[in-house]
Structure 1
């Protein structure tokens, strides 16, 4: 995988914390940043894909929905069950 240099400005405390993590893991600061960015990008892509999928299901009439009132009833039941136990 080819790599590209990317300049980013970070707060001093973030740089210090990154260095501490890099030392703890025996990695470079760049490696720790790449790991963090990879996790962030994968999570954000997952969310965007899920939103697109759910939006398409709603648009096409294929989504299972629940009314606001039913949600409130389920929350009330859940909280009542937890307080009783």
Structure 2
């Protein structure tokens, strides 16, 4: 996978916290930022898919995605990230 360099603005406090975490974890800042972006994209793409499925079901007069399925998935994601 090719890599690109991008620039963005970040609040000073967040950059300091990121650097502290980077040092504590003995990992570089870019790795932590990429992991955070991966998590963000994974979660939000999943949410968009759930919303699309629910809307399609609602438009077809069917029951949408069960809330227990949503919470089960979110709980599994959270626990997976903690281990």
The two structures have a TM-score, normalised by structure 1, of: 0.71
Q: Gaps (5+ residues) in structure 2?
A: 65-83
* Consecutive aligned runs of 4 or more in structure 1 exceeding 6 Å deviation: none
Count of residues in Structure 1 that have an aligned counterpart in Structure 2: 64
Residue 53 of structure 1 deviates from its aligned partner by 0.5
Q: In the alignment, is residue 61 of structure 1 matched against residue 61 of structure 2? A: yes
Residue 48 of structure 1 deviates from its aligned partner by 0.5
Q: Gaps (5+ residues) in structure 1?
A: 65-85
Summarize the alignment of residues 1-85 of structure 1 with structure 2, pairs less than 5 Å apart. Answer: 1-63=1-63
Distance 1:43 1:17 in 2: 23
Distance 2:54 2:3 in 1: 34
Distance 2:2 2:25 in 1: 23
Q: CA RMSD in A?
A: 1.0
Distance 1:14 1:40 in 2: 17
Residue 40 of structure 1 deviates from its aligned partner by 0.7
Residue 35 of structure 1 deviates from its aligned partner by 0.5
